[in-house]
Chain A
């Protein structure tokens, strides 16, 4: 079974430029998460989807970040414009809905803003 797939793996952009990350969750997983991980820290939730609905986006900086999950499968996270402080690893994870089960993570996208 394929795991969570993210792309790109690495991205280097200049500040003020836009950037987008893509995630394909595990088949059949209704819940999709985007996490942010700074160096030496644990992941922090940005947004959680149940199917196509964003049910927890309280930690998403909405002035520059946006996300969508069309048709309740793939998801895209966008930053516009990027700032130097956005340099981090962006992780996507998925899990089965309504179960106290574990979430499975993708390899992440390492973003460097210069």
Chain B
């Protein structure tokens, strides 16, 4: 069964303090790894899709990387508006459903 574990559960940073969020996964044949951002009271907002080990994607202050066992979401010089819960999900061979981790709640203090 596909599984996703995210760490840490919560992370508090000062504005400008770079860090990384981790997503560890087990899946039978990765078809895609997805990062979402979720603000309170809203649905998840799509950020990135990664398909194979070594792949990287960037968007503003965010950079997602992928290995055969985990993915990292690197946040460079974050701003308070980057505060949100970041969700990681995988889609495995033979399954079209997204399996989510529990998320990392990120808080950026000004």
Contact = CB atoms under 8 A, between A and B. Distances in A.
Contact of A42 (B42, B51, B101): B101
Contacts of A93: 43, 98
Interface in A78-105: 91, 93, 95, 100-105
B44 A105 contact: yes
B43 A91 contact: yes
Given A43-B87, A108-B43, 6 more contacts: A42-B4, A43-B98, A45-B97, A56-B97, A91-B44, A100-B49
Interface of B: 4, 6, 31-32, 34, 36, 41-46, 49, 51, 87, 89, 91, 95-103
Task: List 6 tightest A-B contacts by C-beta distance, closest first.
Answer: A42-B100, A105-B43, A100-B32, A100-B31, A105-B44, A102-B46
